Amino acid sequence: MTPNKLGLNLAMLLAVGLPALAQVDLSGSWASKNHEDAMERGAGPNPVDWAGLPLNEFGRAKALAFSQSTISMPERICWFQTQWHIAAGPFNLKMWNETDPLTGKTIAWVVGGWETRAPMTIWMDGRPRPSKNAPHDQTGFTLGSWDGDVLTAVTTHMKTGYMRRNGAAMSDQATMTTHFIRHGSMLTVAAVLEDPVYLTEPYILTRSYTESPTLLDSAGPPCIPGDEGVEEGRVPHYLPGKNPFLDEMNKVYGIPQEAAMGGSQTMYPEFRDKIKDKVANPGKCKRNCGN
């Protein structure tokens, strides 16, 4: 075979639609392991427990004003979580890719929705991000790219929501960067939240999933409005200095208020040395004891 023929054959081989080696198939039904932060993901965090959240003074003030009854107001009954709930919530994930009908190439990855979270469409086709002044909606706007075999998705244009389900809020200026990392039949989701309004540093959560043979739904079930006990016209809240649960974590678990109030220092292991003399022995566990 002449070099020219060899070169031509090689070129033909390369022209055949070989998949990009960096791209990984993330599609499937992924069952959440919920072994990290299990209580927070499931039953939910305690009131005034913001340890590990890099809240600034505004984030802390907003959280202190929050009453859980707020989301039972008639106009907030079916209020949606933001995409951050992928990281902070308990549910399984259903993922699939949307393809161009002509070329078959992936133009988007979709993370299916839940009853209170809209689907996340991760656009892979190079479209531009909308103006920062474009409307924000339940889905936000997400662009994705491959970093080796890791899919990185950057979400903006989210509505105001909560980064933890006890009032620690995230603003509509927040950016969420999510890394989807598949390793065999496991999927790790590492999410980073940056919020110039309420946080001093990025807040990072990870979750693990296993591939499930059980077919998951891609959305729902739908939330149905109904009377949850808060009458029309009442807006549950706590005025400054009036939150009655400031000492909850100390009373129940012996964790000092300094830790429960959050702040970036509470994210780091050396904070334990700083407060070790202030941690009280709570006695026998009475609530959410992990069994």
Partner 1 sequence: MRSKLLVLLFAGVTVLGVRAYAHHSFASTYLEDQKMTVEGNVVQFLYRNPHSFVHVEAKGKDGTEVRWAVEWGAGGQLGSQGINRDTLKPGDHVVIIGMPGRNPDDHRLRMMNITRPSDGWTWGGTVE
Judged by beta carbon, residue 29 or residue 156, the one nearer partner 1 is 29
From the list 6, 10, 22, 43, which residue makes contact with partner 1 (rule: CB under 8 A)?
43
Q: Contact between 33 and partner 1 (CB under 8 A)?
A: no
Phi, psi of 240, deg, nearest 5:
-55, 130
Judged by beta carbon, residue 278 or residue 286, the one nearer partner 1 is 286
Contact segment (CB under 8 A) with partner 1 among 5-13, 44-52, 145-153, 265-273 equals 44-52
User: In terms of DSSP bridges, do strands 28-32 and 120-123 run parallel, antiparallel, or are they unpaired?
Assistant: unpaired
From the list 8, 10, 61, 223, which residue makes contact with partner 1 (rule: CB under 8 A)?
223
Q: Contact between 116 and partner 1 (CB under 8 A)?
A: yes
Which of positions 228-287 make contact with partner 1 (CB under 8 A)?
228-230, 234, 236, 245, 286-287
Please state the closest distance from residue 13 (CB atom) to partner 1, in A: 50
Among 208, 191, 164, which residue's Cα sits nearest to residue 34?
208
Lay out the site mask for partner 1 across 203-222 (x = CB under 8 A, - = otherwise). ------------------xx
Cα–Cα distance between 81 and 171 in angstroms, integer?
12
Contact segment (CB under 8 A) with partner 1 among 101-109, 141-149, 175-183, 225-233 equals 225-233
Three-state secondary structure string covering the chain: CCHHHHHHHHHHHHHCCCCCCCCCCCCEEEEECCCCCHHHHCCCCCCCCCCCCCECHHHHHHHHHCCHHHHHCHHHCCCCECCCHHHHCCCCEEEEEEECCCCCCEEEEEECCECCECCEEEECCCCCCCCCCCCCECCCEEEEEEECCEEEEEEECECCEEEECCCEEECCCCEEEEEEEEECCEEEEEEEEECCCCECCCEEEEEEEEEECCCCCCCCCCCCCCCCCCCCCCCCCCCCCCCCCCCHHHHHHCCCHHHHCCCHHHHCCHHHHHHHHHCCCCCCCCCCCCC
Please state the closest distance from residue 193 (CB atom) to partner 1, in A: 18
Please state the closest distance from residue 264 (CB atom) to partner 1, in A: 23
From the list 100, 137, 211, 227, which residue makes contact with partner 1 (rule: CB under 8 A)?
227
- Compute CA 285 distance to the chain's CA centroid, rounded to the nearest angstrom: 29
Please state the closest distance from residue 178 (CB atom) to partner 1, in A: 20
Which of positions 49-78 make contact with partner 1 (CB under 8 A)?
67-69, 71-72
From the list 74, 90, 202, 256, which residue makes contact with partner 1 (rule: CB under 8 A)?
90
Judged by beta carbon, residue 222 or residue 241, the one nearer partner 1 is 222
Please state the closest distance from residue 98 (CB atom) to partner 1, in A: 27
Binding residues for partner 1 (CB under 8 A): 39, 41-47, 67-69, 71-72, 81, 89-91, 115-116, 165-167, 221-224, 226-230, 234, 236, 245, 286-288
